[in-house]
Chains A and B, each alone.
Chain A
Amino acid sequence: MSNSHMLRPGSYYFQGNEACIEGAIMAGSRVYAGYPITPATEVMEAAARRFPQVGGRFIQMEDEISSACLLIGASWGGAKALTGTSSPGFSLMQEAISFGIISETPFVIVDVQRPGPGQGYITSGQEDVMQARWGHHGEGSLIALAPSSVQEMFDFTILAFNYAEQWRTPVILLADETVGHMRKRLKIPPLGEINIVNRKKPQEMGIRPEDYLPFGGSEVPLMANWGEGYNVNVVGLVHQPDGHVTRYSPELDYQCIDRKLRKIEDNVDKIAKIDTRFMADIEHLIICYGTPSRTALEAVMEAREEKGVPIGYLRLITLWPFPEGMLRKLIPQVDTIFVPEMNLGMMMHPIREALRDKAKRFVSIPSMGTLHSPDLILSKIYEELRK
């Protein structure tokens, strides 16, 4: 896997979008498909430059629909596959995500979010956080991660591939224009320190092709790639564990889809990651994710130092599955919960639902099309505390 064109351990100065591709290469991804869109184009240009250098294949497709559908074939063909896009393109990828969920196909989509609806704007946004989870038709869950630094564009892309392989699911990296275009230090650790997860295969468990269940047998079914003699029938209709589709029944529908939901939602404690600071003796709390976590942390530190406000900081690294149980364990009874988002309060909905009895007030701090300044967050905190 290692070759001289891979980044050697050390410190680099990198753009977020380009760091994502280095993470993908490190994770073992060798297939990239995409369609140009601002502000995600550098992800694609980096892949066009870098993938052939490491023996990978890159293709510019005719649209985002085919880019995402390509990942399905590439994944069953044995590759770790990736596409990058921005919000309008992400809308077009929803049918492939839906198919990826029912067929339990691992792949990664990087969404460098921009504001919407429509063309919206070409600046920064976090307006796809709900689309990532609920945009596809039908039931079933998936995993979405929110990076906030150039380093995390690298680290979380690796984590996204690891999760995709481990849980056999599409994984969405919910970046935004700010982190995508940010240039900061990127530290590549020694290769031995990077954890890489690969899909579990029936061959390793001694399962014969005639007994193989591509959609059953365990919580996360084993995955045989095409070309390995397992005669896998990948289907998008409600199916039995062996891929049999014709004998429909409500019970079969429930069993088929419920497991695909449960394998993610019931393992939320294994999947979800949360970063907390200053959580002792707090009366208020800021809950944030993605790039606004940077200015939110600064605002929290300033409020504590300048005016002694007892406010804590909690960052969601995993947005989906939503870690309700973990939040309830971590968060004490407080007065006010502030939620800064580059949207009009989207993640406020699951946050308020999960913590409805934990706080007296829930205050959304929106910033549309641009990252919050620490002052914007601070002034909102002070304004609320004066009430």
Chain B
Amino acid sequence: MKHPMLKYMKETGPCGDRLPTILCPGCGAGQVLNYTLHAVDQIIKEDKIAKERFLFISGIGCSSRLTTHYLNFDSAWTLHGRAPAVATGALLANPEFKIILFTGDGDVGAIGGNHFIHVCRRNLDMTILCMNNALYGMTGGQVAPTTPRGDYTTTTPYGNVENSFVLCKLAEVAGASYVARWTTAHPQQAIRSIKHGIRKKGTSFIEILSQCPVHAKKSAVEILRSYKTKTVKAKNAEKGDNRIPIGEFLDIEQPEWFESFQKIIDSFASEERKDQNE
């Protein structure tokens, strides 16, 4: 039996077979892709939204490789950190797009940090899925802005001396409308969150802790277990709890860029109709 989400993948193309993906065994990115496609599949069915309206955009890194040539959707695998800018352009051309951004903690937290916070500030209508593995996987396990203090990586051979970014808090203060964090060990919660994010008008930021067994030098199973034991539902967290809070942190309604800008365009269009009537 074929995987039910394969219908959204390009198994082959005019120049040959495209699967399997480039991802390492045990990588969490494949799970996130699976959850995302489930969410998209449910929205296509429940909301009667045409598949052609979905657009996947990514930058550079392991997580961004999900949009290379595997997806049977319109997509762009763009420049490191620049996916929010490319997505903004697509929306400016056509605000009807349902945009999903695949990104990683380095892509969105370091090189693309500026674009990320400004997308949130403008509250542009897109869903940003950040796979956080707390390191740079594609280049071989270097320190990332999300790496915990003290961790050893190939570029912190004597231990990381820097504080780490909390990307969900960054998204909140930057102005996003919906912010949530889950892990690859929380499939149903992640699918529900992604669906909510896609439906949400404005910027949705969903961080998914996603294992990199290769560079973490642990088995995928071990990391997935820790995602269960070392996290706590945000609403259940008590003061002093060292576990990582997961769940929905923010869900608000606020003006979105395109609705506001469209009013300006419409004012000129109605002025023109008035001119023609006079």
Q: Interface on A for B, CB 8 Å cutoff? A: 3-5, 31, 33, 52-57, 59, 61-63, 65-67, 69-79, 81, 95-96, 99, 103, 210-211, 213, 226-237, 239-247
Quick one: CB contact mask for B265-278 with A, threshold 8 Å, 1 for yes?
10011001001100
B69 touches A233 (CB 8 A): yes
For A4, give its contact among B67, B69, B265, B275 (CB under 8 Å).
B275
10 chain-A/chain-B pairs, Cβ below 8 angstroms:
A59-B92, A67-B85, A74-B92, A75-B93, A231-B75, A233-B68, A240-B15, A242-B13, A244-B13, A244-B69
Q: Which residues in A have their C-beta under 8 angstroms from that of B91? A: 73, 77
With the chains together, A244 CA to B272 CA distance in Å?
A: 47
Query: B92 and A79: CB pair below 8 A?
Result: yes
Number of residues on chain B facing chain A (CB within 8 A):
48
Binary CB contact string for chain B from 258 to 270 against chain A (1 if under 8 A, 0 otherwise): 0001001100110
B68-100, CB < 8 A from A: 68-69, 71-79, 82, 84-94, 96-97
Closest residue to A231 on the B side, CB-wise?
B72
Residues of A within 8 A of B143 (CB): none
Within 8 A of A (CB), among B1-58: 10, 13-16, 18, 22, 52-53, 55, 57
- In whole angstroms, what is the CA distance A65 to B261 when docked? 23
Q: Which of B14, B72, B86 contacts A70 (CB 8 A)?
A: B86
A247 to B261, CA, bound (A): 44
Please state if B118 and A62 are interface contacts (CB–CB under 8 Å). yes
Bound state CA distance, A242 and B115, in angstroms? 30
Cβ–Cβ contact A227 & B52, under 8 A: yes
A344–B79 Cα distance when bound, in Å, is 34
Q: Does B264 lie within 8 Å of A70, measured CB to CB?
A: no
CB distance from B127 to the nearest CB of A (A): 15
B156 is an interface residue with CB less than 8 A from chain A: no
In the complex, whether B114 has a CB less than 8 A from a CB of chain A is yes
For the complex, what is the distance from the CA of A57 to the CA of B268, rounded to whole Å?
13
Q: Give Cα distance in the complex from A79 to B18, angstroms.
A: 30
Q: With the chains together, A211 CA to B16 CA distance in Å?
A: 12
A234–B77 contact, CB under 8 A? yes
Q: Residues of A contacting B22 with CB < 8 Å?
A: 246
A69/B74 in contact, CB under 8 A: no
Judge whether B86 and A3 touch: CB under 8 Å. no
Q: What CA separation (Å) do A53 and B267 show in the bound complex?
A: 9
Q: Would you call A62 and B88 a contact (CB within 8 A)?
A: no
Beyond contacts A31-B93, A57-B261, A70-B89: 8 other A-B pairs, Cβ-Cβ < 8 A, are A59-B88, A70-B86, A72-B78, A73-B78, A77-B89, A78-B94, A232-B74, A237-B68
Which residue of A is nearest B276, CB measured? Answer: A4
The residues of A that contact B72 with a CB separation of less than 8 Å are 231
Q: Report chain B residues within 8 Å CB of A70.
A: 85-86, 88-89, 92
Cβ of A244: which chain B residues have Cβ within 8 Å of it?
Answer: 13, 15-16, 18, 69
Chain B residue nearest in CB terms to A51: B265
Query: Which residues of the other chain, B, contact A31 by a CB distance below 8 angstroms?
Result: 89, 92-93
The CA-CA distance from A241 to B53 in the complex, in Å, is 24
A226 to B114, Cβ gap below 8 A? no
Residue pair A235, B77 in contact (C-beta under 8 Å): yes
- Please tell me if the beta carbons of B85 and A69 are within 8 angstroms of each other in the complex: yes
Least Cβ–Cβ distance between A346 and chain B, in angstroms: 28
Q: Which residue of B lies closest to A68 (CB)?
A: B85
Asked if A65 and B85 make an inter-chain contact with CB atoms under 8 angstroms apart, the answer reads yes
A230→B74 contact, CB < 8 A: yes
User: Of B15, B75, B92, which contacts A242 at CB under 8 A?
Assistant: B15
